[in-house]
Amino acid sequence: MKFKYIVDHENRGRTVYSILREEFEFSNRLIRKLKRNKLIFCNGTQVNVRYVLKTNDIIEVNIDFKETSENIEPVKMDLNILYEDESIIALDKPAGVVITPIGVHQDNSLANGIMYYFQSKGVQTKIRPVNRLDIDTTGVVVFAKNAYVHDMLRKQIMANQYERKYIGIVHGCPVEQTGTINLPIARCPNSIILREVSQSGAPSVTHYTVIE
């Protein structure tokens, strides 16, 4: 993924750093990585972030530098890929599979399969899950292919701009055939998975239809 910025008369005198931070919205961590890999250019020449810009200067940055998650072993898996482009890959996670290696799941997580898939395609990047699902939950999991996209999508989640929809099977049968439950939910005490209705919880809307 490449970024390009042409300096106009009003922005002369600014530093490269200010353009990277304010116009490209790069994090300081990403800027440090770009500096370390010497991937910041102005008019085709590698420059320091303190470089003071002139009118018509052209800043160019390629953020697809090589990196890897050394603690994740590549393992061949059958992946159900729903969507993929140069920025993200979205998969259907089956129940019983964790997102990243943890505990006894060091070589059978979704990240292990993604690592193998990336390597088979010649893609050298870290494994960056954007969202997570519990081990027993099946659904869409998105991985970002670079730090910039990961940061942008995480900001959307934090700003509640990331819509999540769940389909669940419940015990019992509601009186109404269809309906909506609009009640806030929060984590149950002493549980990292279970949720309960709580006035101090996050907004939650459930639309239901009785099937059988």
137 assigned to some structural domain = yes
Beta-carbon contacts of residue 187 (< 8 Å; ≥ 6 apart) = 194, 195, 196
pTM of the model: 0.77
Task: Please indicate, yes or no, whether residues 131 and 199 belong to a single structural domain of this protein.
Answer: no
121 assigned to some structural domain = yes
Minimum mean pLDDT among 4-8, 22-26, 95-99, 103-107: which range?
103-107
Beta-carbon contacts of residue 201 (< 8 Å; ≥ 6 apart) = 184, 185, 186, 195
Q: What is the mean pLDDT of the chain?
A: 92
Task: Please indicate, yes or no, whether residues 151 and 87 belong to a single structural domain of this protein.
Answer: yes
Task: Please indicate, yes or no, whether residues 198 and 138 belong to a single structural domain of this protein.
Answer: no
pLDDT at 191: 86
Domain extent at residue 100: 81-158
22 token code pair: 């304010």
Give the distance from CA 19 to its chain's centroid. 23
Cα–Cα dist 29/146, whole Å: 12
Phi, psi dihedrals of residue 84, rounded to the nearest 5°: -155, 140
Nearest CA to 211 out of 165, 180, 166, 170 is that of 170
pLDDT at 46: 95
Q: Is 193 a residue whose pLDDT tops 90? A: no
Task: Please indicate, yes or no, whether residues 85 and 55 belong to a single structural domain of this protein.
Answer: no
The owner of tokens 């790069």 is 26
Beta-carbon contacts of residue 6 (< 8 Å; ≥ 6 apart) = 56, 57, 58, 59
pLDDT at 131: 93
Task: Please indicate, yes or no, whether residues 123 and 184 belong to a single structural domain of this protein.
Answer: no
Q: Are residues 1 and 62 in contact, defined by beta-carbon separation less than 8 angstroms?
A: yes
Q: Is 212 a residue whose pLDDT tops 90? A: no
Give the domain CATH number at 37.
3.10.290.10
Model confidence pLDDT, tens digit, residues 64-123: 878 888 889 999 999 999 999 999 999 999 999 999 998 889 999 999 999 999 999 988
202 assigned to some structural domain = yes
Task: Please indicate, yes or no, whether residues 86 and 149 belong to a single structural domain of this protein.
Answer: yes
Task: Please indicate, yes or no, whether residues 151 and 198 belong to a single structural domain of this protein.
Answer: no
How far is the CA of 206 from the CAs of 90, 149, 162, 191, in angstroms? 24, 30, 16, 21
Catalytic residue IDs: 134
Query: Would you report the helix, strand and coil content of the chain in percent, each value rounded to 5?
Result: 20, 25, 55
Task: Please indicate, yes or no, whether residues 106 and 145 belong to a single structural domain of this protein.
Answer: yes
168 assigned to some structural domain = no
Task: Please indicate, yes or no, whether residues 153 and 88 belong to a single structural domain of this protein.
Answer: yes
Cα–Cα dist 74/67, whole Å: 14
pLDDT at 197: 95
Task: Please indicate, yes or no, whether residues 122 and 53 belong to a single structural domain of this protein.
Answer: no
Q: Where are the alpha helices (DSSP H) in 126-191?
A: 147-158
Cα–Cα dist 6/53, whole Å: 10
165 assigned to some structural domain = no
Task: Please indicate, yes or no, whether residues 85 and 153 belong to a single structural domain of this protein.
Answer: yes
172 assigned to some structural domain = no
Backbone angle region of 103, left / alpha / beta, with phi > 0 → left and psi within -120 to 50 → alpha: left
Task: Please indicate, yes or no, whether residues 90 and 152 belong to a single structural domain of this protein.
Answer: yes
User: How many domains is the chain partitioned into structurally?
Assistant: 3
pLDDT at 110: 95
70 assigned to some structural domain = no
With bands split at pLDDT 50, 70 and 90, how would you rate the model's confidence at 190? confident
